[in-house]
Structure 1
């Protein structure tokens, strides 16, 4: 008998006339909005101009969604290209399935294009973005909860998660109209959600404490996320592609995490970039003279004593 367990939704899609409202999509959108708001605050505090985050998001978000879907389809191809699979479902992003690694890679390309167009250093922007990405990923995990996915092995712990048999955005009902319960499992989605929020706080703290720059805050985000994703992947029992009997995302977490650690070591000790907005550098040959009372201190203007007549020798 189940004494206590976290309930799961029995419906993840609501029909609003001909328009289906999907909880998974709403969670993704909410995560993007939260990330944009946090990044805007951090970017302006670092010297960036207001509104630049939205300009970059216009490029980065579509690239990220496309990349996330591509990675998901490549890493889980059976549902689309295996026996009984439907290749057209690869485009059904509303059913769920976005791989974070593809989203970060392709989103980075979109951000690079936007930053290049505006003359913004990509590493500096990535540092401002890092905690927002973790918050967005945490909110996005609620979409997995609505879809009854991303869970670990069976358990009867008080925080066990009820998982129902799922089909077409709704729980399958038995002959009495009750949802078919598959059992109670470790809530891997919740573990990752909490880990991501804790990691976001850690990155913000480390960034303030050590004034991280040149992409180091972003690398710290990648490293902290990979550490969490590694142990959470080892808990999961939902279907996934494997390599040598181990889930592919385990190998990905190790490789990407080590790469982030190497970058942090390589870039250690570098001061944070200073973003100058609306400032023109002074000419190399200009000499700044302290101004006296009522005098102009502009370095390009000649001093009054430069025009004194020379005394006869």
Structure 2
């Protein structure tokens, strides 16, 4: 096979959808929303399996999702609006647009924080111990976040610096930020994060099984792996946000650094103090799986 023929088989760029919305009669179907919903479904399904494997009752993770998902969506939107408020407030802006979640814009840190609050509330109502719940859910958040990143592909947003690599992402001229109009392909940061998140999911789950982790150490591993990858990928991005530059780093970079250090410190402390072993019961009252099924 000649070099020219081989080159024809290798994609020289990744195309982007020119329109991430499809009309199903009077109902618009948005690619961004589909990615978020699919990520949530996969995360809830895998959380359910992990919860049952740890000694919980089937169906309880779905009940927790009824609290965690709405809280997470609200938190994600609030974080985005706060850190990028110039898009919604000020001259020529419409504050009502802050409610248009379907157009994109969910801050992952806000989604994690309020989503965890919703899960904690639901867990306490059902007598489920906090650490086992969070340790069961945490790795599946990597899957939800990775799948959800495909929403950025549909919206042609949050891509990286210009690149001529074969997997460069094609961006329409009207979606390119000021100063980059002459470039056609950019780093597909959504794809980088998807690949990283999926790989780290299997890494965290493997470590969990290998060392029988508990006491919040699985949660700490999730935070560390996600923050490390997110911090590296953030260095490629060129989109502008409020709080863009704090001492030379983006706000999201600082969040990644702070949370990574906090998670690493907790993991080390829990390990040293002997508080990171797998719990014998995932319920406050010490119920066994058999007791839970009979309840």
TM-score range, shorter chain: 0.7 to 0.9
Asked whether 1:277 is paired with 2:280, we answer: no
Equivalent residue for 1:73?
A: 81
Q: How does 1:211-230 map to 2 (within 5 A)?
A: 211-230=212-231
Alignment match, 2:25: 17
Partner of 1:62: 70
Structure 1 gap segments, 5+ residues each: 172-179, 281-313
Q: Which moved more, 1:12-21 or 1:70-79?
A: 12-21
Structure whose residues are more often helix by fraction: 2
Q: Shift in Å at residue 277 of structure 1?
A: 3.4
Q: CA deviation at 1:247?
A: 1.3
Instruction: Encode CA deviations 1:8-61: one digit per residue, 9 max, x unaligned.
Output: 111101122221111100111100110011111111010000000001000000
Residues 164 and 181 in structure 1, CA contact (< 8 A), matched pair in contact too: no
Structure 1 residue 150: Cα displacement: 1.6
Deviation above 4 Å: which 4+ runs of structure 1? none
Corresponding position of 1:261: 264
Higher-Rg member (1/2) = 1
Hey, what's the Cα distance between the residues in 1 that align with 2:22 and 2:29?
Answer: 5
Task: Give 1:153-172 correspondences, 5 Å limit.
Answer: 153-166=161-174
Deviation at 1:122, TM superposition (A): 1.7
**SS across alignment from 1:81:** coil
1:198 corresponds to: 199
Distance in 2 separating the partners of 1:32 and 1:153: 29
CA distance in 2, matches of 1:136, 1:26: 12
Residues 86/245 of structure 1: CA separation in 2 closer, same or farther (3 Å cut): farther
Structure of higher RCO (CA pairs closer than 8 Å, 6+ residues apart): 2
How much does 1:181 deviate? 8.7
CA distance in 2 between counterparts of 1:148 and 1:233 reads 16
RMSD of aligned alpha carbons: 1.8
Whether 1:246 and 2:249 are equivalent positions in the alignment is yes
> 1:135/1:185 Cα in 2 relative to 1: closer, same or farther (>3 Å)?
same
* Among candidates 19, 28, 42, match of residue 34 of structure 1: 42
- C-alpha contact 1:163 1:181 (8 A) present in aligned 2: no
In structure 1, distance between residues paired with 2:222 and 2:94: 36
Q: Is the 8 A contact 2:162 2:183 kept in 1?
A: no
1:133 aligns with 2:134: no
SS class of match (1:73): helix
Distance between the aligned counterparts of 2:223 and 2:124, measured in 1? 23
Matched, 1:101 2:109: yes
Q: So what's the TM-score if we normalise by structure 1? A: 0.82
Q: Distance in 1 between matches of 2:112 and 2:166?
A: 35
- 1:82 shift after superposition: 3.7
What residue ranges of structure 2 are gaps of 5+ in the alignment? Answer: 1-10, 282-287
Q: Name the SS for the 1:14 alignment partner.
A: strand
| Residue matched to 1:185 | 186
